Amino acid sequence: MSEQNQSIHGQWSSRLAFILAVSGSAVGLGNIWKFPYITGVNGGGAFVLVYLVCILAIGLPILMSEIMLGRLGHKNPIATMKILGKRESGTTKWSVIGILGVFTGSLILSYYSVVAGWAMNYVLLSVQGSLASVDSDSAGQLFGGMVSNPINVFFWHSLFMLLTVFIVAKGLISGIEKSIRILMPLLIFLLLVLLVFSVINGEALAALRFLFSFNLDALTGDGFLVALGHAFFTLSLGMGAVMAYGAYLPKNFSLSKTAGAIVFFDTAIALVAGIVIFSVVFANDLDPTQGPGLIFQTLPIAFSSLPLTSVVAFLFFILLVAAAWTSSISLIEPGVAWLIEDFGFSRKTSTYALGGLIWLLGLLSVFSFNHLADFTFWQGTWFDNFDFLTANLLLPFGGLLITVFAGYILSPSISEEEIDLGGKLGYRIWLFLSRYIAPAGIIIIFLDGLGVL
């Protein structure tokens, strides 16, 4: 093992391990739970188009920048940005990117864990046989009954947080790669099985029409903002998660190929999940705009018409929990690494302290579906507000700072050496996207979404 592979997060046993870890972070509830439901709420095709453009023109160059900065700094995101900022511009203020990231990741995990808890609850329901034969009415009741029971949601949220801090406290992050190696192909396989099912049994054509008919008039400024925010959320960008993982990527490893593979996987999984879910939605006259409960109310119906219903349901929700788990680890790890490296706390203390805080904050999201369901402000419940604030504002804002740093502050001689997009032209394209398209895109969508334009 070369020394470069040593890290506070564990060790990458190989280059593939890095891809797996970042894919494990990227592929999660964002792809399977969130993408279909926000696509439904925002009217389909036009939203998907804006999301795809944001992924390619803004997400991809920033993903490359985050990996690059992590690899140049070799430390947790706060220390990395402090070191690089000092070296490149004489100020340590750029560490704000890392600090903001720790804050954003913690806020995201607080509600992410609640949704992962729902998925865990569905694992149990499948074992109990409750998902064996559901129709659209009973699927709705099942979901409604689950989230309206505060003790229930509290229990699963707590269990998921425990699972997350357990792994992080032990410092087994790199060990996760072994399970990702098996779980990720399995998840893809199962999604493909469901895709075949939806083509045979569902309304796949209607789903495709819904997802890919690009009528931009249907999209509001808010929709643009959600699409931009989701590009960041789904690729785990803008908060230092990828930077932390990139810190120990060997120098000779192609940055563009890695970033390209991650973007491809992540997007493909989201689109397949979308086709599956909307096929079921249209075949059963369900409401595509029903919100966060969408997959929990549609997938059990799809499973019901498959052989071995409970087994398929069990496998699917276990894999969803696993995907959420590898993402949640990357949400808390930058904060934990910071507490260890900059404050000298032990890994255990850092993880349990930060995890405890996040768990507590998560209670606001736990109760957003029951006790506090009527307590709404700004975007809706606490849950809605945490989601909107982090995904749509904080992540793109973090991404804006990252792309400005990579495009303007970092000396081009360094970035040119790092960005290996096939010669000068490739580098120029990256630089153009990083300097102009990504910052302008983020600022325009911000202003539009906030009603300023």
Instruction: Provide the binding-site residues for ligand PFF, judged by CB under 6 A.
Output: 25-26, 28-31, 105, 108, 233-234, 236, 239, 241, 327, 330-331
Nearer to ligand PFF, 111 or 303 (CB): 111
Nearer to ligand PFF, 139 or 241 (CB): 241
Q: How far is the CB of 30 from ligand PFF (least distance, A)?
A: 2
Tokens of 18: 């890095």
Nearer to ligand PFF, 52 or 429 (CB): 52
List, as own/partner pairs, every contact residues 179-184 make where C-beta atoms lie below 8 angstroms and the sequence separation is at least 24, other chains included: 179/322, 179/326, 180/20, 180/21, 180/23, 180/24, 180/326, 181/20, 183/319, 183/322, 183/323, 183/326, 184/20, 184/23, 184/24, 184/27
Q: How far is the CB of 306 from ligand PFF (least distance, A)?
A: 25
Q: How far is the CB of 41 from ligand PFF (least distance, A)?
A: 17
β partners of residue 377: 380
Q: How far is the CB of 283 from ligand PFF (least distance, A)?
A: 26
Tokens of 109: 């995990």
β partners of residue 199: none
Nearer to ligand PFF, 80 or 234 (CB): 234
Q: How far is the CB of 29 from ligand PFF (least distance, A)?
A: 4
Using the Cα atoms of residue 331, residue 335, residue 340 and residue 341 in order, give the sign of their dihedral: positive
- How far apart CA 286 and CA 144 sit, in angstroms, is 15
- How far apart CA 299 and CA 278 sit, in angstroms, is 10
Q: How far is the CB of 26 from ligand PFF (least distance, A)?
A: 5
- How far apart CA 112 and CA 386 sit, in angstroms, is 10
Nearer to ligand PFF, 33 or 143 (CB): 33
Q: How far is the CB of 126 from ligand PFF (least distance, A)?
A: 21
Q: How far is the CB of 146 from ligand PFF (least distance, A)?
A: 20
**Spacing of C-alpha 164 from chain mean position:** 15
Q: How far is the CB of 242 from ligand PFF (least distance, A)?
A: 7
How close are the terminal C-alpha atoms of the chain, in Å?
53
Tokens of 228: 């931009």
User: Among all residues, whose Cβ is closest to ligand PFF?
Assistant: 30
Nearest to 25, CA basis, from 347, 323, 391, 275 = 323
Using the Cα atoms of residue 420, residue 415, residue 231 and residue 212 in order, give the sign of their dihedral: negative
Nearer to ligand PFF, 203 or 333 (CB): 333
Nearer to ligand PFF, 323 or 340 (CB): 323
Tokens of 117: 């808890």
Nearer to ligand PFF, 258 or 310 (CB): 258
Tokens of 126: 């499948």
Nearer to ligand PFF, 105 or 202 (CB): 105
